[in-house]
Structure 1
C-alpha cells in the first residue's frame, strides 16, 4: 500500500464488513455536488465566473464516509480528489483503494450486488466511468482526464501535460500556440532523476490499472470492465518521460524497457529535437487516435440503460441547484427520482395520500401490498 494513502485498506468491524449503506446519507449525497463545481455562465450581459470543484472538501468527505462504509463510489471520488491535490502519487493511492475493494471485498462492498438480477455488475462498472469515460458519455470522467492534463510535467517548469499534447498537435487549443523548439529546450531543465521517478510512477499506475481490470473481471464472472481512455492517457504521459530520457542518451535504460512505446521513441539528441517525433512513430500514432473521439457533444449522447438515465437526471438536479439556487427544478427532479422505483399504489400515495387509499379499495389491494 502507498504510504500516502489516507484510507484504511481493511474491512470494518461489525456484522457487515462493508459497514453502512449510505446511499441516502446527507454526506454521501454531497459527493456529486462537491465534485461538480460551478460552470461560468453569462446572464444579463455579464459573465459570472465559475468555480472549480472543492477537491479538499471532497477528499475530507470521502475520508469521513470511509470510516463508516466500504463503497466503490467513495473510493473513486477519493482518487479524483487526490489526483488534483497530490498528483500521480495521490491518484495511485486512490486506485489502490479501488483495487482493495475489488480484490478483497467484491462480494460485500457497496453498491451491493443483487442476486435476483444475477449479480449484474453494471452499476459498479458505471462508477469506474468517473475515472475512464467511454468516448461519448455523460460521465464526469472527462473531468479526470482534465485533471491529468493539468499535471505539471516537472517541479521546476510551469508546463503541463496538456501543453505537451498541444505541442504534439494532439489537442486543439484556442490559446496561443506554444513554441515547439523553446518547449523542448526548456524541458532539459528537468533532472534525469525526476524523469526516472515520474516515468516509473506512471508505469506503476498503469500496472495497477491492469491488475484492477483483471481482478474485477475475474470477480464479476462475465462483467467487462475497461479503463481504455484512462490507460491511453497514462501511456502518453509515461511515453513522454521515457522519450525525454532517451533524448538524453538513455540516462535510465531500464525505464525504456517498461514503456510499451519507448522503443519507438526517437533517440535523437540535442535541445532542438521535436517532441512530435515520438508521435510519428507507430506507438505514438496509435496512442493519438482516442483524442479525436473524446470530444463530447450533447447531441451525440446515447443513454444505454435505466441506471444511466437516472444518473443523468441526478446530475441535472445538481447543476440547477448550483447554477440556479432559486430554481424549483432540483426539487421536482429529485421527486421524480424518488418515484422512479415506486409501484403504482406508492405513486398514488406520493401524489395524494388519500388517492392511495382509494386506489387500494378500487383494486382490491391490501395494506400489505398483496392481492
Structure 2
C-alpha cells in the first residue's frame, strides 16, 4: 500500500491516529527497534590492530518497518523517520513525497496526531521538537551530498561540489579536487531533461509542504515556536538555485534539438529549402570565419561537446604550411617527412 494511501485513512473510528506508542508495549518495542535500525552499526574495535567495520543504515528496511508502524499509529516521530528513509532511497522526489504525506496527516488529523499538543502554554511542545528533527544535521548533510546531476561523460555532482566550484566553501583537505563549473554545466547539458524537471518539481513541492506545516502550527498553536528548519530550508533553496542556474543549459539544448527537428520537417515539406547557409569560401580568412560559426553553434546548443576544442585547434592551423602543421600535430613524423622530401637543416 502506498504511503499516502496508508496515512489518508484513520486507524480506527475510536482512535483516528491509533494508540500512542509509549502506551503500548508492542508498539514501543517496534519503535525502539526502528530507531536502532536508523543508526546502522558502529565500528567495533576488537583490539589495537583489529576492528569490525561499521555499516550505514539499511534505509529500505527502515522504510518498510516505519510504514508498517505508521499503519498502527500516526506519530510524528515515525513520519520523520519515513522522510529520512525516503530521502536516502528516493532522493529529492522521495523526500518531497514523505514531507507531503506528513503535511497531509497533520492537516487531516491535527488534534489526534501523536505526540498530542495537550498543553497550550508549552512554547516548545514535544510534537514541535519531533518536527525539528526533520531539519537536523543528518538530513541537511544528506541533502548537501545528494547527487543533483549525473552524466556518463562529465560525472556526478552534488550541492557541495557546486559550492566548491563557485568558491562558496573551502575544502578542508588540500587534496580535495575542486570541480570546474564548465564541467558541471556539461553534466547538466547531457542529463535527461525529464529527470531534472522531476527533481525541480520535487524541490518546489518540498518547500511548499514545509511552509504549509509552519502555517498549520501558527493557525492551531499560535504560542508555539516553529520547528527549527532554517538550515533545511536554506539547503533546499540552494538546490533550487542550482537547478535554476545550471538546468537552463539543458533546456536550451532541448529547445535547440526541438527547433532542429521542427526545421527538418519544414525543410522536407518545402522543397528542401536550407535552414542556414554559409557564404562561398574563397580564402583562408573565409575558412576561419566558417569555423568560428561552427564553434558558435556548439557553444550555444551543445556546450558539452568536445568538438569546439578540435575546431579551435583547426583554426590555429589554417595559416600554417604543411611542415608547420605536421610539427604541431605529429612532431615524431617530421623527420620522416623531411627525409622523404629531401629537406635538410640548411634548407630550413
Provide TM-score, normalisation by structure 1: 0.59
- Match in the other structure for 2:148: 153
- Match in the other structure for 2:139: 144
Deviation of 1:6 (Å): 6.2
Tell me the alpha carbon deviations over residues 273-311 of structure 1, each in whole angstroms, 9 at most, x when there is no partner. xxxxxxxxxxxxxxxxxxxxxxxxxxxxxxxxxxxxxxx
Inter-CA distance 179–164: structure 2 relative to 1 (3 Å threshold) = closer
- Match in the other structure for 1:214: 215
Aligned length, in residue pairs: 247
Deviation of 1:249 (Å): 7.5
Q: What secondary structure, in the 3-state scheme, does the structure 1 residue paired with 2:57 have?
A: coil
**Aligned positions of 1:106-255 closer than 5 A:** 106-115=110-119, 118=121, 121-132=124-135, 141-156=136-151, 157-171=155-169, 172-174=171-173, 176-180=176-180, 181-226=182-227, 227-247=229-249
CA contact (8 A) 2:149 2:187 kept: no
Tell me the alpha carbon deviations over residues 189-211 of structure 1, each in whole angstroms, 9 at most, x when there is no partner. 12444333322221121111111
Matched, 1:50 2:45: no
Deviation of 1:5 (Å): 4.1
CA contact (8 A) 1:196 1:252 kept: no
Aligned-partner Cα distance in 1 for 2:179–2:80: 37
* Coordinate RMSD, CA, aligned: 2.9
**Aligned positions of 1:249-268 closer than 5 A:** none
Tell me the alpha carbon deviations over residues 306-350 of structure 1, each in whole angstroms, 9 at most, x when there is no partner. xxxxxxxxxxxxxxxxxxxxxxxxxxxxxxxxxxxxxxxxxxxxx
CA contact (8 A) 2:100 2:206 kept: no
Deviation of 1:233 (Å): 0.7
Aligned-partner Cα distance in 2 for 1:169–1:37: 34
Deviation of 1:161 (Å): 3.1
CA contact (8 A) 1:121 1:220 kept: no
Deviation of 1:4 (Å): 6.7
Deviation of 1:241 (Å): 0.9
- Match in the other structure for 2:102: 98
Q: What secondary structure, in the 3-state scheme, does the structure 1 residue paired with 2:157 have?
A: coil
Greater helix share, 1 or 2?
2
Point out where structure 2 has 5 or more consecutive residues left out of the alignment: 256-298, 305-348
Provide TM-score, normalisation by structure 2: 0.63
Aligned-partner Cα distance in 2 for 1:189–1:251: 9
Q: What secondary structure, in the 3-state scheme, does the structure 2 residue paired with 1:210 have?
A: helix
Inter-CA distance 71–86: structure 2 relative to 1 (3 Å threshold) = same
Tell me the alpha carbon deviations over residues 25-45 of structure 1, each in whole angstroms, 9 at most, x when there is no partner. 210112321111234466514
CA contact (8 A) 1:62 1:77 kept: yes
CA contact (8 A) 2:66 2:78 kept: yes
CA contact (8 A) 2:69 2:78 kept: yes
Inter-CA distance 118–194: structure 2 relative to 1 (3 Å threshold) = same
Deviation of 1:164 (Å): 2.2
